[in-house]
């Protein structure tokens, strides 16, 4: 494994190593921080709707009252991607509230 200069977008750590390739032959990386919420990640995305910044904006637009079609039109993604992001966010937030 080779250390790669860069930062983990989720854990904000400098210790990142290569971790194989995706089916689209994009390089995957592994964050060495055990507390990182998503330890493996890619820096190149084939589809813009999967970028962490875009998924965050989808959630924020939904919280501010924008509809799925409106959000899809603004970001140039499909409606199904918008719904998928919101469903995943809802599942993860409902799991965290159950633990309390």
Of the two residues 30 and 54, the one the predictor is more confident about is: 54
Q: What is the reported pLDDT for 100?
A: 47
- Give 40-64 pLDDT, tens digit per residue: 777 777 777 777 788 889 999 999 9
Instruction: Over range 17-36, report the average pLDDT.
Output: 79
* pLDDT of 3 strictly over 60: no
Cα–Cα distance for residue pair 74/23, rounded to 1 Å: 29
What is this structure's pTM? 0.56
DSSP state of 16: E
Question: For residue 25, what pLDDT band results from cuts at 50, 70 and 90?
Answer: confident
59 in Cβ contact with 89 (< 8 Å): yes
Query: Does pLDDT of 83 surpass 90?
Result: yes
């Amino acid at each position: 494994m080779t250390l790669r200069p860069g930062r983990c977008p989720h854990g904000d750590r400098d210790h990142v190593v290569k971790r194989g390739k995706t089916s689209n032959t994009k390089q995957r990386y592994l964050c060495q921080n055990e507390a990182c919420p998503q330890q493996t990640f890619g820096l190149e995305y084939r589809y813009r709707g999967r970028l962490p910044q875009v998924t965050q904006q989808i959630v924020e637009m939904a919280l501010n009252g924008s509809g799925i079609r409106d959000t899809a039109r603004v970001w140039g993604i499909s409606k199904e991607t918008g719904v998928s992001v919101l469903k995943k966010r809802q599942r993860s937030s409902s799991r965290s509230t159950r633990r309390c």
